[in-house]
A and B are shown apart, each in its own frame.
Chain A
Amino acid sequence: MLKRLVTSREILLVGAIVLLLMLISSRFPGFIAPANLANVFNDTSPLILLAIGQMIVILTKCIDLSVAANLALTGMVVSMVNVAAPGLPIVFILVIAIGLGTLLGMINGILVWKLAIPPIVVTLGTMTIFRGIIFVISDGKWVNSHEMSPAFKAFPRADILGLPVLGWIAILAVIIFSVVMTRTTLGRAFYAAGGNPHAATYAGINVGKTQFWAFTISGALAGLTGYLWVSRFAVSYVDIAGGFELDVVAACVIGGVSIMGGIGTVAGALLGALFLGIIKNALPVVDISPFWQLAISGGAIIVAVALNAQANREKGRIILKRAEQAS
């Protein structure tokens, strides 16, 4: 029953995406050409990567508002490393990016786990601290395209079978985390910790520690995305990906992840991100000012969360309604 509901929601979302694509292509057939769709997917990949991490965090009843700042800080650090040591192989850059992102995620996780500070306070705080640190280490300066080494910029753009590496990394992350979430003890622990923390505790799951791992994964993905972001756009400065954390939360909520924890899938996060990504890429095509984008993602969050709540209500409160009628 529950499983059917979850799968049907994802099918609903697939339907909405197909409808959206048909609507756009009825006026601009070029939009659904395979090359353009690959382009749209590639462009949405950073959002997909962060949405997967955010989905896991939200599953455990937490929220991570520091992902975009983490991305920007890691991006700045790796681009400064690249400027200082242009010959450093990309493998090391990737290790630094993922390592630093993981560390920043762990800071959030420790504060939530050991000090039991509400996640929203922790991540609002670290969000500003991370941004501030970027300013301090970069002195407010930009790292521009000509300062980055060619290899540094080439990695996410390298083309494999018509899709750049950036897109392939997103696909890889979707596969890995689908397996982790459904086939490992840790994956099930995320669901248990958010679905019913008390029951999870009695089942021998350390809820705080599980939340710590969720923040760590979210941080690692944000760090990885940080390198991919600065190398793809070939620029790094304090405000890159400003406000992107809201898009990430929006993608999750649209993808049917319940903000109350315990409900959500990797596929949902992927579809939610794709939905937003298609809208973002379609706006200039259908000649709507990009200034609409913020309001559209805001509206989408509200509609999606209202629909989610409605679906949950129908499921859980039937008995209550009868009881009310009887009295």
Chain B
Amino acid sequence: MSTTDRVIPDRLRSPFEQRLKSWETLLLFVAIGIFVANSFASPYFLNAWNLSDATFNFTEKAMIAFAMALLIISGEIDLSVASIIALASTAMGAAVQMGVGTPGLVLTGLGVGLICGAFNGVLVTRLGLPSIVVTIGTMSLFRGISYIVLGDQAFRGYPASFSWFGQGYVWWVISFEFVLFAVIALIYAVLLHKTNFGRAVYAIGNNATGAMFSGIRVQRVRFILFLLTGLMSGVAAICLTARLGSTRPSIATGWELEIVTMVVLGGVSILGGSGTIVGVVIAAFVMGLVTFGLGLLNVPGIVMSIVIGALLIGVIALPRLWAMWRAG
């Protein structure tokens, strides 16, 4: 049983066959399966407004998941994203108390996200610290600052024009958040699959030393990826805060886990070097549909987290078990 051997095939499979057997196709069938199962399980599922509501389950998380996907492909990870949301949301809440208007609030959210991302990035790229420990540290630090500011209090009183980012609809049942999600997905798909930057991300994830010797500014790319992840956390913080209309320091607790799950479920290798944005998009729908379907069936949130945790381990374990079984 040699799982580490890499066999180079004599003949590559045809592109069509390759696409048919890809992780993304499998995931798409899973998504369709869950959709059909849900519509049989609950009479309330097939309703345009209900489905529109269901998208809120994943749009904010998916925005961060796209940036996280690039980060994980490059071989790093950021566990502080949910805490960045908390800190950015707290900063926006504080800004509201000082009478800042909607444009200022948006800038505050984005700015705090960028600063937090830059802080992670500097620690990882300048000091050469492992990203997992750094972001476990900043995960406590950022949320800790929110707790220092807010304690057991909450910020409220966001202006109505600000609420539109989380509650507004562009057309009929199509929410602003959903449009933003689609636009961001497109931007990240182009960035990862059609630009030099995207190729550099894959190269770094597969072999950072090799990438350095082929002229890629490895540390700069890594730093930009941390910045992007921070920025997307800021965007998600704006949407979430606008949707909830209040800020508590416990906002978005545990989201880092769901976001990493979404990325891994989307076929991105946790060891770096491979993955696609399409996969993450489908994974976002799968997780959103599962959560929404279970919600319609009155399954409590914490039980859903069992499903999420099992999904995370299962999607990695099953292909390996399958390979072991086939190898005998």
Contacts and interface: CB of A to CB of B under 8 A. Distances in A.
A121 B312 contact: yes
B137 A302 contact: yes
A116 B271 CA distance: 11
A115 B320 contact: yes
B96 interface: no
A289 B132 contact: no
Interface in B117-164: 123, 127-130, 132-134, 136-145, 147-148, 151
B269 to A, nearest CB: 10
B324 to A, nearest CB: 8
A301 to B, nearest CB: 3
Contacts of B145: 295
B308 interface: yes
A294 B143 contact: yes
B89 to A, nearest CB: 16
Interface in A99-157: 111, 115-118, 120-122, 124-129, 131-133, 135-136, 140
B173 interface: no
Interface residues of B, number: 45
B18 interface: no
A260 interface: yes
Interface residues of A, number: 46
Interface stretch (B23-31, B59-67, B178-186, B297-305): B297-305
Interface stretch (A33-41, A75-83, A171-179, A305-313): A305-313
A297 B136 CA distance: 10
B313 interface: yes
Contact of A292 (B137, B138, B148): B148
Nearest to A63: B132
B300 A118 contact: no
A129 B309 contact: yes
B201 interface: no
A313 B129 CA distance: 11
A309 B128 contact: yes
B241 to A, nearest CB: 20
A139 B281 CA distance: 34
A309 to B, nearest CB: 5
B136 A121 contact: no
Contact of A129 (B128, B139, B142, B306): B306
Nearest to A238: B302
Given A246-B140, A293-B144, A302-B141, A135 B300 contact: yes
Given A249-B136, A259-B130, A299 B300 contact: no
A132 B140 contact: no
A102 B161 CA distance: 54
A253 interface: yes
A202 interface: no
Nearest to A239: B302
Interface in A213-263: 238, 243, 246, 249-250, 253, 259-260
A135 B141 contact: no
B224 interface: no
Contacts of B3: 116
Given A120-B77, A121-B316, A132 B302 contact: yes
A108 to B, nearest CB: 10
B270 interface: yes
Contacts of B306: 128-129, 132-133, 136
Nearest 3 CB-CB pairings of A with B: A295-B144, A298-B140, A298-B141
Given A124-B312, A259-B130, 12 more contacts: A63-B132, A115-B316, A116-B320, A124-B260, A127-B257, A131-B305, A298-B143, A299-B137, A302-B134, A302-B138, A305-B137, A309-B127
Interface of A: 63, 111, 115-118, 120-122, 124-129, 131-133, 135-136, 140, 238, 243, 246, 249-250, 253, 259-260, 289, 291-299, 301-302, 305-306, 309-310, 313
